[in-house]
Amino acid sequence: AAGVIQSPRHLIKEKRETATLKCYPIPRHDTVYWYQQGPGQDPQFLISFYEKMQSDKGSIPDRFSAQQFSDYHSELNMSSLELGDSALYFCASSASRASGSYEQYFGPGTRLTVT
Least Cβ distance, residue 2 to another protein (angstroms): 15
Binding of residue 113 to another protein (CB under 8 A)? no
Question: What gap in Å lies between CA 69 and CA 16, rounded to an integer?
Answer: 26
Give the other-Cβ count within 10 Å of 62's Cβ: 7
Which residues have CB under 8 Å from 74's CB, separation 6+?
22, 23, 25, 32, 34, 49, 66, 67, 68, 91
Could you say which of 50, 61, 73, 79 contacts another protein (CB under 8 A)? 50
Interaction residues for another protein, span 13-42 (CB under 8 A): 31, 33, 41-42
- Contact stretch for another protein (CB under 8 A) within 9-17, 65-73, 76-84, 101-109: 101-109
Residues contributing to the site for another protein (CB under 8 A)? 31, 33, 41-45, 48, 50, 55-56, 58, 90, 102-109
